[in-house]
Every structure is written in C-alpha cells, then in structure tokens.
Structure 1
Amino acid sequence: MGKTFSLLSFSLLILILTCHATRIGTSASLHVKPRSSSSSEAKFVKSQTERLIRQLNLFPELDVNIAPADHHYSSELLERRFRFKNVLSESPGASVEDLGHHAGYYRLPNTKSARMFYFFFESRRNRTDDPVVIWLTGGPGCASELALFYENGPYQLTSNLSLAWNDYGWDKPTGTGFSYTNHEDDIRGNGEDVSNDLYDFLQAFFTEHFQYAKNDFYITGESYAGHYIPALASRIHEKNKESKGIHINLKGFAIGNGMTHPAIQYTAHPDYALQMKLIKQSDYDELMELVPQCEAAAKECVPGSRGEQSCITAIFLCEQIFENILSIADDINVRDREKSHYSHVRNASNVYYDVRKKCEGELCYDFSGMKTFLNKDSVRKALGVGDIEFVSCSSKVHQAMITDLMRNWEVVIPPLLEDGIRFLAYAGEYDLICNWLGNSRWIQAMKWSGQKEYGASPSVGFVVDGKEAGVSNSFGPLTFLKVHDAGHMVPMDQPKASLEMLQRWIQGNLSAPGQVEKLLS
C-alpha cells in the first residue's frame, strides 16, 4: 500500500497565493513606464497587491494582526487537538473524531512578540512511519489557509460554508491568517528570516512531537514559496551537517509553479505568450526589447541587498514585460477572439493564473467564504485563537518583502542535489504568471554535476487513469513535471493527479500508476 502523509501548514505573516505582481493598466499599446522614484515604485508594488486582493474577493478588515503582548500564553509551543463539526462526508480509514488534527501557536524567537499559527494533520493511515510533509503558500501577503481549504488540505469548503472531506488531501499547509504580533518590526522581510523562523519552529515541533522526528521529511509549496522552500531546505541541510539541534530527516523538496529565478522567468514571459497565441510576432519583437534592462536590473538584486533600491528597481522594470503582455493580450482577445486557435483564452483580466478561464470584472477566484468561515465564533473556538481576527491578505506584509521579490534562490539548490536531496519542480501548463516554460529554463540552466545528463533526459508521460496527465524529465535527484489541464494552482485544478504526483515522487517513480487507488482502497 502506498504511503500517506502527515501534513503541516502555516500562517507566517509572510505568505501569499500568487507568484509576483498582478497586472495594472489596460492600454493595448506597448509602453515602458519612465523610471520613477523609490516611493513611486513602492506604491506600484502596493497597488498590485491591493488589486490581487480584489481579484480573489478577499477584503480583510485588518492589514496585519497587531495584538497585545500578553494576548496568548508565553510558552514556546501551544497546541490543541481540534475537530470541525458537521463535516459532510466520511473520512476513509478513520472517523473524524479519531483524526489527529491539531492547531497551535509558536512563539518565534528573535522577535519582540510574534506568534506563528499553524495546522498539523496527522496521516490517516500509518502515523508512525509515514512521511511528514510541510506545505508553504507563496506570494508574499496571503495566508496558507487558501491552499488548506481550496487545494490540498483534508477538507474542502462548500458554497454554503460547510466542510466536505477531500479524498485527495495531502494528509492520507502563515504572515497573515491567525498569526499575530504586538510590534510591526516582527514582520519578516526576506527569505533568510523566513527560513530561520521555519527552522526554529520545526525544532520546537519535533521536540513536542518527538515520535515524528525519525520520519522522512519533505518541503512542498507553490508560487512565491519558490523562494522560501530552497531557503528552508538549505537551512535544514546545513544544520544537519553541523549536527546542531534535532536532526530533521530531509529527503526532498517540491515547488509548484514557483518563482525561484526571476531574471530567467520574467524574460520567458514573451516566449510563453507567443506560444499560447496571447500576442503576435510583432508584439513579441517589441517586448523582447524590454528584456535586457530586466535582466541587468535583476542581476543587481543580490543577497545582502535588503532594503536597497536595486531590488525595487528590478521588480519595477521586469513588470513592464508582464504588464504589456496583459495589455496586448486583452486587445487581441477583444478583436480576434473568434479567430484565435486558443478559443479558451477569453479575457486578459484572468490570463496570469489560467489562460483558459474568465474573470467576472476584477473577480477571478472567489475565496471570500474562507474568511467568513474562519471568523465564525465556533471555528475560532475550535482552533483556540480567541478573538484574533483572520487576515486573509496584507499589503503591509507584501511591502515588507519587496526587496526579496527579485532575489535568485536557485543558487542554493545545487549543493542540495549534490548531496542527494531530491527536488521536484512541477507546473500547470496554462499558468502565465509562473509559467512552465520559465521554470523549465532555469532548471535546465542550473549548474550541477548532472546538468548535462538532465538536459539529455527523455520526456516521459505521467499517466493517471489511463490518460497522460503530464510530461516529466528526470535525472538523479532532479525531476521536472509539466502538468496538463492545470493553471497556477495544480492541486485545485487536478487534485487526484497532484496527489498521484506527490505519492509517486516520494516513492521514486513518477511513471508508476495506481498509487492513489491503493491509497483510497
């Protein structure tokens, strides 16, 4: 029987759903915004975050959770077992009452008073030996509860705010959310600080749950977590080699539709847009004129540059490529919709997440039910969060991470591969914002001892239910998977295929069929 997983999910005061900035402006003509002041560029990024919040139908009453210093207990880790009432469907293998579902707060060291909220879902099957999987949503600015209730958590939130069991949840997942602090200085501003907080949490977690410390451990996530995941994997691996703290049995990490190497990924946007017929060849030629300045600016945004103007300038310049693609695509789709080979491409107001889908005005995904559900008195009581308000997205948190947005985190991955730590990169084929083409390019360009062999590896079909659900390339510890019929959020678009992917990858063979059927039998 295939293994199930124990799943960790967070509210870190640092996370978001999307990969990088969303569109602004609607002009169909190609243009380059004039260089602006630092304050103007910061306002540019904030406006993009606020637009994202509207597109997801998330309107938090608070920009960040600031609570009195003595709002919660002073112990390092405070955790409680919980269960939600009235789950509509049965859990396979265990009743809802018997499940090991936990929610807790961790008091972050090296902060004034920050408390990180997390969920922990024990495996539905073999809790003693099954791997522990941590899920991180990206961004930065929205809570990981988005993934928990709409992607790969044990529940799915229905339209009437009831919970239905998710047969393909990854337990057989904070800045925002219920995390809080009493001082804004505690909001994190770069990948190093985030990885340090997560590592400190894991040390406390495995001290509390020592029975899981020996289990295989995997780091997973999507989007801007393409920054956090390599940073955390590198941090854990370094500490393990130094024999410091509790040994965490890190076996691998997986990034879905991630933003990891911005300089390469931004400059792949024109190629992907042309390939998907979102733009014409003449548009492509003009867009490519913007690439050199984006590449040059991104190279100036290097580790140790937190707060420096170079990183802000890089995001401002590289966004010109993306913004112009959306403006051009909008014009083409209005004029040539009937002629397009891609008749599923309807309106540029949604193409950055999934080019097949259409937004209603500014609303692209309606995640508002999550906020309503999590702020219900009965839910807050079950989770033990008191009167802390759930904050879905925060432009303040996004701004705190602004100088980290264009950082290249690919550089920490080769040493992990050389030491046998496995890496899976996967991407839904219809996502524009963190598209599969840009991800495949930085992976192919990554310098490590297996680079040549990986580049020469054959493409192998990933088959689910007798149909090709994706195509993979692999050599040694490195695997890339292009997922069919999926956009930015693969576990939401293809829940069964994503669970098959994780299951088979952990067992070492993406081409082995039938793992989920065994899991659910």
Structure 2
Amino acid sequence: MRWILAVGAVLVASTIAGPASPRTVNINKRYVEEQNGINYNVFEHASTSSKMSFVKNSGICETTSGVNQYSGYITVGEDMNMWFWFFEARNNPQEAPLVAYFDGGPGTASEYALFTQHGPCHFVNNETTPSLNPYSFNDYANMLYVDQPIGAGFSYGNTTAVNSTKTAAPYVWILLQAFYDNFPEYENRDFGLWTESYGGHYGPEFVKYILDQNTAISRGDLQGQEICVVALGINNGWFDAKIQEKADIDYAYDNPYRQIINESFHAELLSRYDTNCTPALDQCAATDTSEDCFAAWNSYMQEIEYPILAAMKETATTVYPGDIREPTTRPPSTYVAYLQRPDIQKALGAKVNYTDSLGAGDFIRDGDDPRSFMSELSTIVQAGIPVVSYAGDADYVCNWLGTLRVADEIQWPGQKRFANQTLEPYTLDGMQKGTFKSLDNLIFMRIFEAGHNVPFYQPEVSLQIFEQTMKTGGVIPT
C-alpha cells in the first residue's frame, strides 16, 4: 500500500561486534522466558546485540497439519522491537526457499498482505474468523512476514529512529542476521524479498543493502551471514516520482476502464508537471535534503494528485484509487478486529495492540516519497538477480503504465533491447491473465482485472508468478 497524501543512515558497523579478541568471546544464549502468562523462546544474538522472543505453533492462521509457524519479536536496536511472523512451506519446507515480505505504506503492517492477499489464511465473505488460503505463497516457500518500521502492526518501541527507506535498511539486515543464526537450517537457502507499492522504495534499497553487506562479509570487513538473494518481487511499486507522476496524468486520461480526466485537463496537468513539478523534483535529486524533497512531494500533490482525486469523485459513485473500476473492489479489513482480540494476541505472543498502519507522516516530512530508487534497482538488475515488477491494470496509485516506464528506464546492458520489446500474452492454464516481457533477469508484467494489491484480485496467477520467479527460470505462460 502506498499513501497518497536525510536523517543519517544507521551505521551497522557500530552495532555489529568485530572479531573476538583473545579475551572476549561472543556467545549466543537460548532460554525460555515467561511474560504475562506467555512462554517465549528467547535467543540472544551476540554479534548484532539483538534478541528474539517468540512463540511456536500458535494455531493462528496456518492450520495445515505439520506446518510449523513462529511469531514474536526481534529487538533490532535500542527499544526497537520488530514483529515477525514466520510460516513454514506447506510443501518440502526442508528445501524450499526463504522469502521475506515487507508491506508498503510507508508504515503498513505486513498482516495487511498476509490476511488479504497471499498469507496462509484469509477472510471469506466477511466472516469473523479466517480460513485456509489455497493460494498462499507458503504453499511453495518458507514465508517471513515483517512489520516495519517500528509502530506498524505489532512492532513497538522507538518510532523515531526510522523515518526513511535508507534508515530502515540496516535494521532489516539485523533482523535477517538474527533469524538466520536462530534458525540455521535456512542459512544457505535461496532468499527472495517481496513487497508492494511503497516497496518500490523498500525492495531496491533493502536488497542493495544486503548485497553491500555480503560484499563486506566476503572481504572480511564484517562478521555475518551472507544472504543468497535470488529474486526481488514488487507488486505495483512506487519507484520514481518523476517517471510515475507523469504516468499518473496519462493513465487518468487513457486507461482500460474509464476516463478520469478529459483531453484539455490532461494537457493542463502535463503543463503543471513540466512547469512546477519537474524543477522541484530535480532540486530534490540534486540536494537530497528533507526540505527540498518535501517541497517536491508537496508540488506534485497539489498540482497533480489532489486534482485527479477530485476528478475521480466527480466521475464515480465510490472512489478508491487502488481500483478505478465500477463497482470498485478493495481488500476487506476484517482481519484488523481479529488481530485486536486479546486472545489472538496472547496466542501469537504479541505485546501491544495491533495497529494496521503507522501512517506516512515521518517519511513524508523527511521527503522520502519523491526520492528515486532507480539507481538501486539498476544495481540489482546489473548484478543478475531476477527482478519481477508486476502491476494490476485497474490501479491508479502505482499504475501499470508508470511501472512499465520505470522498467524500461532501468540502467543495465539490456536496457534498449528490453525497452523495445512488445508485451506478450501471459496465460494461466491457457487463459490469458495479462501481458509481459522479459529479458535475461528482468521481467515486467501487466495483470488484467486487478487493482493495487494483485494477489487479492488474481490470487492464482499471483502464486504462479511467485513460484516461477523464485525458481529463477523466468516467467512462462502455462
């Protein structure tokens, strides 16, 4: 989810212990600790000074026989308790890859995707308790859902340390390091990072940070576990405001479902973009200051986004930018009340009430929204890591036209050939579900009849895309 409305990076080196001297030995500790009637398995991770506290097999959500789950916290910094919820793969968990999922927002809890899109359970027909989801991503992979930044979902503590994408990345790496050392059976598995919406910021930055840490570890400059990244998946991502704001204007004028603005207003908005937004975005890119980047965000909100949203209200009975069709459809919020039940929280080991969204305020004030992550995305593609950007074509927020233009602008040796490719049909069991193009390790997909959160609208094809990408053989129509 992306909301429509530079603090210095954390130095991981300051939190990671160096090689042990002859007089110093870093020792991990494991024990069971009782708190408020809940028995937590505790793992103190010496090298990152972090601490995991979790419960095993709560019986919540994943009820498939023999499939283990773990839920709880990893303390990644001073008073920074990041919530995780891990589900084993339903099939062959001993060899299945590990995938970490981060929702967008910024500040949206990953339970949003877990319960409405690709988690082991979902709510059907407004029921008050969930049932098994046959198209869960853990049907194929071991899934690690994470609530970040602190304050989202069940995460709690210091909410001021992370106010941008770049300040979030080191804490994500610490979480993964502690997870690997507590569950060493996953250390050498293929690893994928999947995300959506504002994840167009998160995904490229988090994976780029992991790759940089891998390099430091291999050089001997850093102690830690190298992470074998084999895929980055992003659903309707927000990567680059300069590219995607202009695409918003074009999509509002010409899309597969309904015209939101007329020709004259389209021309007027393009003029506003060129005259007011482009200089502000260029200034943000040049200085990277919070002041200039906040001004850039304010510019395109005032000049483009608010007028288009107003036009939506004039041309539709209900307005949801994530699905411009009429009648509009959006993921249900039934899971929120479920997760706020004291008995559910106790079973999971949650220590605070559930907050579905922290809100984007700190990120907006820091100017994070208009910052481009094209450079990070390009680095990942250049490294040969499979990247799939897939988008529901009924979404305005991070629409398929903008994400296609982003994919075409990625800097890598195959750029011109990729940009010149035409989109071909993508099928599921012979039925066309969208179009796609791919070259080497870069894939772009447009999914028909889907809004902002593609796995909610098209769960079966989303699982197929997920499996094919994680197998690193490329997406193949079936």
Q: How high is the TM-score relative to the length of structure 1?
A: 0.76
Q: Work out whether residues 470 and 483 of structure 1, in 8 Å CA contact, stay in contact via their aligned partners in 2.
A: yes
SS of the equivalent of 1:301 reads helix
Q: Read off the aligned partner of 1:81 and give its amino acid letter.
A: K
Match status 1:310 vs 2:292: yes
Q: Take 1:303 and 1:232, find their aligned partners in 2: how far apart are those partners?
A: 23
Q: Work out whether residues 353 and 431 of structure 1, in 8 Å CA contact, stay in contact via their aligned partners in 2.
A: yes
The residue that corresponds to 2:73 in the other structure is 105
SS of the equivalent of 1:298 reads helix
The residue that corresponds to 2:345 in the other structure is 380
**1:132 Cα shift?**
0.9
Q: 1:294–1:348: structure 2 CA closer, same or farther, 3 Å change rule?
A: farther
The residue that corresponds to 1:447 in the other structure is 411
Equivalent residue runs for 1:57-456 within 5 Å: 75=44, 76-84=51-59, 96-109=64-77, 112-158=78-124, 159-172=126-139, 173=145, 174=147, 175=149, 176-181=152-157, 183-186=158-161, 188-242=162-216, 243=218, 244=222, 245-276=224-255, 277-292=259-274, 293-302=276-285, 305=288, 308-319=290-301, 320-331=303-314, 333=315, 346-347=316-317, 349-350=319-320, 352-358=321-327, 365=330, 367-386=332-351, 388-395=352-359, 398-402=361-365, 403-456=367-420
Q: CA offsets, 1:103-151, max 9 Å, x none? A: 0200013xx3110001111111111211111111101132111111011
Q: Take 1:156 and 1:184, find their aligned partners in 2: how far apart are those partners?
A: 29
**1:201 Cα shift?**
0.5
Q: Which runs of 5+ in 2 are unaligned?
A: 6-39, 45-50, 140-144
Q: CA offsets, 1:52-78, max 9 Å, x none? A: xxxxxxxxxxxxxxxxxxxx9894111
Q: Take 1:98 and 1:164, find their aligned partners in 2: how far apart are those partners?
A: 17
Q: Take 2:347 and 2:233, find their aligned partners in 1: how far apart are those partners?
A: 31
Q: Take 1:268 and 1:103, find their aligned partners in 2: how far apart are those partners?
A: 40
Moved more, 213-222 or 498-507: 498-507
Calculate the aligned-residue CA RMSD, in Å. Answer: 2.1
**1:192 Cα shift?**
1.3
Q: Take 2:233 and 2:173, find their aligned partners in 1: how far apart are those partners?
A: 17
Q: How many residue pairs align between the two structures?
A: 415
Q: Take 2:174 and 2:310, find their aligned partners in 1: how far apart are those partners?
A: 44
Q: Work out whether residues 249 and 270 of structure 2, in 8 Å CA contact, stay in contact via their aligned partners in 1.
A: yes
SS of the equivalent of 2:470 reads helix
Q: Take 2:388 and 2:184, find their aligned partners in 1: how far apart are those partners?
A: 27
Q: 1:184–1:471: structure 2 CA closer, same or farther, 3 Å change rule?
A: closer
Q: Work out whether residues 234 and 390 of structure 2, in 8 Å CA contact, stay in contact via their aligned partners in 1.
A: yes
**1:457 Cα shift?**
2.5
Q: 1:208–1:412: structure 2 CA closer, same or farther, 3 Å change rule?
A: same
Q: CA offsets, 1:246-274, max 9 Å, x none? A: 01110120111010111110111111111
Q: Take 1:178 and 1:357, find their aligned partners in 2: how far apart are those partners?
A: 34
Q: How high is the TM-score relative to the length of structure 2?
A: 0.82
**1:459 Cα shift?**
2.3
**1:100 Cα shift?**
1.1
**1:427 Cα shift?**
0.4
Q: 1:230–1:310: structure 2 CA closer, same or farther, 3 Å change rule?
A: same
**1:328 Cα shift?**
2.6
Q: CA offsets, 1:224-251, max 9 Å, x none? A: 0111110011011111122241011101
User: % of aligned pairs identical?
Assistant: 27
Q: Read off the aligned partner of 1:162 and give its amino acid letter.
A: T
Q: Work out whether residues 392 and 451 of structure 2, in 8 Å CA contact, stay in contact via their aligned partners in 1.
A: yes
SS of the equivalent of 2:452 reads coil
Q: Take 1:475 and 1:501, find their aligned partners in 2: how far apart are those partners?
A: 16
Q: Take 2:422 and 2:437, find their aligned partners in 1: how far apart are those partners?
A: 6
Q: Take 2:186 and 2:477, find their aligned partners in 1: how far apart are those partners?
A: 27
Q: Take 2:325 and 2:477, find their aligned partners in 1: how far apart are those partners?
A: 29
Q: Read off the aligned partner of 2:336 and give its amino acid letter.
A: K
**1:98 Cα shift?**
1.8
**1:416 Cα shift?**
1.8
Q: CA offsets, 1:263-312, max 9 Å, x none? A: 11011111111113221111111111111221221222238735x21111
Q: Work out whether residues 255 and 426 of structure 1, in 8 Å CA contact, stay in contact via their aligned partners in 2.
A: yes
Q: Read off the aligned partner of 2:98 and give its amino acid letter.
A: V
Q: Take 1:261 and 1:393, find their aligned partners in 2: how far apart are those partners?
A: 23
